[in-house]
Amino acid sequence: MHSNYVDGDKLQNTTDPNISELHKDFVRSYSDERITYRVRESDETRFSTWNGQSRDGKKHARDLGQQPFPWEGASDTRIRLADEVCSFMVQLSTSALSRAALNVGGVEGKDHEDASAVGVYLRWMLQTVLQPDFEEELELHAEYAAQYGWSVLHTTWDRCYAQVPQQISLEGLARFMGGTDNSPNIEALQSALKNEKEYLADLLVGSNPGLKRQKALKHINEVAKTGKTVFDVPQMTKNQPSIVALRPYFEILFPPETQDWHRARAIFRRDYYTLAEIEEKATNGDWDEKFVEKIKRTAGRNTTVWDTGLSPVTGNSEKLDDRSNLVEIVHAYSRRVTENGNPGIYQTVFSPYMHKDEKGEECFAQHELVTEAGDTYPFECFTREKTRRSPIESRGVSEIVKTWQAEYKAQADQVFDRSSFDTLPPLRVPLRYGQRIKIGPGVQVSEQRPGDISWMDTPKRGADLAFQLMDQIQVRTDRYFGRPNSAVPPVETQLRQQAYVHRWLRHMSTVVNRMWDLTQRFDDDERFAVVTGTGKPIPRDPNNFNFNLHFDVRELDNEFVEKKLQAISQFVLPEDTMGIVDRTKLIRKKLQVIDPSLADELVIQNAEASQAMFEEVNSQVAYMALGNSPSKLVENDPAAAIKMQFLQQIIQNNPKYQQQLEADQQFQELLKMYSQNLNMSVMQQQNKQIGRLGVNPNA
C-alpha cells in the first residue's frame, strides 16, 4: 500500500489506517477549550437548572447549604425563555419542511421529463418509505441546531436482510454453492452427496458467510437422505436512504483548526453498540473478528473527558456510569490521497481505548475507501447563523438569551416575593411576645395591650417596573428570533422567519441531493419504474438535476393564502391571452399551498392529463355515434378550447365518423349540441377577459 508521508502530514498522504494519528486528532477534537464548557452552560440555560435548586421552585436552606435570601421559601422560579425560543424555531423548521414544495429541475431541456419522474419518486420516498424515522430525526436535527447553534445529518444507504427459512431442493442447493441448474452440476452434486459430504459442507460454508460448518453438514445430510432441506435464505427487508441526526460535541467531532466543513482533515462520529451488535458485525464480515473479541473488554467504559451536559428530565449530568453492556466505537472519516493519486474519503472504525494489540500492531475493526461519498464527507452540517467559517462559531439560542433569561427570572422572583409580602406581610409585635403569635383563618389572637399586634407596612413602590422590564425582555427576544409579537412590526418578523426558513431549506435541499446520489448508486430500477409510472429505469447522471425546497412563511397565514390564490385567478389567468401560463403547474402550486399532500395525490402529469382529456372527448363522440346524448355538458369549462381541438382531430382522423355525419342526422344534431356547449364555454372565458380589459384581446 502507498504509505509514504509527504510534508510531515502523517494522515492525509497515506492510505494506511494510522490509528495513532487518528486518535490524536480525536482527542484534540473533544479537548478544544471552545467546546468543553458550552454543552453544560447551554443545557443549564435551556433546561433552567442550577445548583441548590428545589422541586417546588422556592429557596430552601437545605438545598442551598446556607440561609436563603431574602427569606426561607422565597421564589426561585424556573424561566423557560430559551426553551420557548428553541421550541419555536424547531416548530418553524419542521412546519416549513412539511409544507415546502420540492422542485426538481433539469439542467437541459431534454431532462425535464426525467426531472418530473425524479420529483415524483423522491416525494414518494420522503413521505412514505422513510417515515416516521425521517421526521423524527429531522426534529432532533432542528433541536440540536436551535440549542447548540449547529447540527449534523449523517446520510447513508441502509440495506438490511433477514434470514427467512425456505425449503430447498437439490437444484436449489446447487445454486447456494455457486452452481446453476445445468445438469452436469446437478449430476456432480448427486455423486458428491454419496462420497464427498465433508467437501460439500466446506463448499457451502465458503459460499454463505456466517454459516457454521456443523449446520452446513446437516443440510448436506438432509438433502442426501430426503432430497430437500430447510435453508435460511437472506431476504432484503430494507433498501433505502437513512439519515441520523448527530449531537454536536458528543456524537460528532472534528479537529479545532477546521474552518470549512467539507475540507476538514477528519470527522469523528461516536457511537455505542451492544455486545450482540458487534458480534453480528463480525459474523457478517463487516468488522475484524479479532478486534471484536478484544473490545468486548471495554464494555462500560466511556470517554468522559468533557462534560456531556444535562438530562432534560432529571437535570443530572449525562455522564452515565453504567454502560456495562455498551461498547464505545469511533467512526473516523478522513480525507486521504488514494493510491491512484485522487482525493478520497476513508472510513476507519476503531476503539478509543485500544490502539494496538499485544504484538504492537494497530487494532481496528474496519478501514476502507467510502466509494459512494466521492471526495466529500457523507455529512451535511447546518448552522443557525453564519458569523464565521467554522461551524462551532455559530451560537445557539441558549448562548444568546442566557443573560436575558437571568434578567427575566430576577424580575419574576421579585414579583412573586412582592405578591407574597402583600398577601401576608410580617407582623409587628412587642419583644415580650416572643414567638407565641400564630395567625391563620379563624385563629384567635390575644393582645395584652390594644395595638400591640399590627401588620408591617408594605413597600410603597409597586411591581409595575418589574412587569415593564419583563415585557421589554420579551419584545427584545421576539424581535431577535422572529417570534410574533404585537410590539414588533409584522414585516420585520416575517423577514427574520423567512431568512431562517430559507437557510434551513437550502440545507435540506443538499440533503435531498445527497439522497438522490445514493439512490442512483443503490436503488432498484424496477421500483423506480413502478412508482413513477414511466416504466423507465433510474436516470443515472448525477449532474442532470437541480433540487430546491421552497416555502413562503406568509403561507402559514390562511388569510394570506386565500388572497394570493384569488389574485392569481382574478388578475393573472384572464390576462394570459398567449397561454404562457402552464395551467397544470399552476394547479399543482395551488394545491401545494393549500396542502402539499394533495398536490401529490390529485395532480397527474401533463401527458397523462392530456391523454385523459382526449379519451374523454373520444368517448363522447363514440356515445353520440351510437345515438346517445353527450353524458358531460359542462358550464364554463376552462378546458373547452382544448376539447374543441381534440373534437376536430377525432372527426378528421376517422373516415367512418365523416361518413356517418353525412348520412345520420341524429349524429349531426348530437355533435352540434356538444360543439355548442364547448363554444359557449369558450365565449364565457373570452367575455371574462373583455369585461376586465374593456376590449376583445383576440379581435
**586 or 141: which leads in pLDDT:** 141
Q: Do the domain assignments include residue 183?
A: yes
Could you tell me which residues come within 8 angstroms of residue 592 by beta carbon, excluding any fewer than 6 positions away?
A: 99, 101, 598, 599
Specify if 280 maps to a domain: no
Among 213, 238, 263, which residue terminates a domain?
238
Mean pLDDT in residue range 172-193: 62
Q: What is the DSSP letter of 262?
A: G
Name 379's Cβ contacts closer than 8 Å, sequence gap at least 6: 152, 153, 154, 155, 246, 252, 261, 267, 333
How far is the C-alpha of 665 from the C-alpha of 170, rounded, in Å?
A: 73
C-alpha cell at 296: 468486548
The DSSP output letter for 236 is E
Residue 202 pLDDT > 50, yes or no?
yes
pLDDT (tens digit per residue) in 71-91: 899 999 999 999 999 999 999
Q: Is residue 681 part of a domain?
A: yes
Give domain status of residue 618, yes or no: yes
Q: Mean pLDDT lowest for which of 203-207, 394-398, 486-490?
A: 203-207
Provide the number of structural domains found in the chain: 2
**Distance between CA atoms of 630 and 652, rounded to whole angstroms?**
19
Ranges assigned E (strand) in 213-254: 228-246, 252-253
Structural domain of 637 = 606-693
Burial environment of residue 480 by CB neighbours within 10 A (0 to 12, 13 to 18, 19 or more): middle
Contact between residue 58 and residue 415 where contact means Cβ atoms under 8 Å apart: no
Q: Are 584 and 603 in contact (CB under 8 A)?
A: yes
Higher-confidence position of 543 and 3: 543
Residues whose CB falls within 8 Å of the CB of residue 400, separated by 6 or more in sequence, listed in order: 480
Residue 126 lies in a domain: no
Which pLDDT belongs to residue 106?
84
pLDDT, tens only, 306-316: 556 777 777 67
pLDDT number for residue 336 = 87
E-strand stretches of 75-180:
101-106, 150-169
- Residue 389: C-alpha distances to residues 257, 260, 385, 562 (Å): 11, 6, 10, 41
Comparing 437-446, 564-573, 582-591, 643-652, the range with the smallest average pLDDT is 582-591
679 pLDDT tier (thresholds 50, 70, 90) = confident
Q: For 615-619, which contacts have Cβ atoms below 8 Å and span 24 or more sequence positions? A: 616/643, 617/643, 617/646, 617/647, 617/650, 618/646, 618/650
Q: Which of 238, 269, 286 is the last residue of a domain?
A: 238
Q: Is there a domain that residue 496 lies in?
A: no
Cβ atoms < 10 Å from Cβ of 367: 20
**pLDDT band at 699; cut points 50, 70, 90:** low
Q: Is 525 domain-assigned?
A: no
Find cell 417546588 and name the residue.
56
Does residue 570 form part of some domain?
no
Model confidence at 319, pLDDT cuts 50, 70, 90, reads low
Whether 45 contacts 405, CB under 8 Å? yes
Q: Which of 188, 217, 238 is the last residue of a domain?
A: 238
pLDDT tens for residues 421-477?
888 888 888 877 777 777 777 777 778 888 888 888 877 777 889 999 999 999 999
DSSP strand pairing (326-337 vs 101-106): unpaired
pLDDT of residue 26: 92
Q: What is the C-alpha separation between 454 and 447, in angstroms, rounded? A: 10
- What does 312-333 look like in DSSP terms, one character per residue? TTT-SB---S--TTEEEEEEEE
Pairing type for strands 101-106 and 379-383 reads unpaired
Q: For residue 250, give the 3-state DSSP assignment.
A: coil
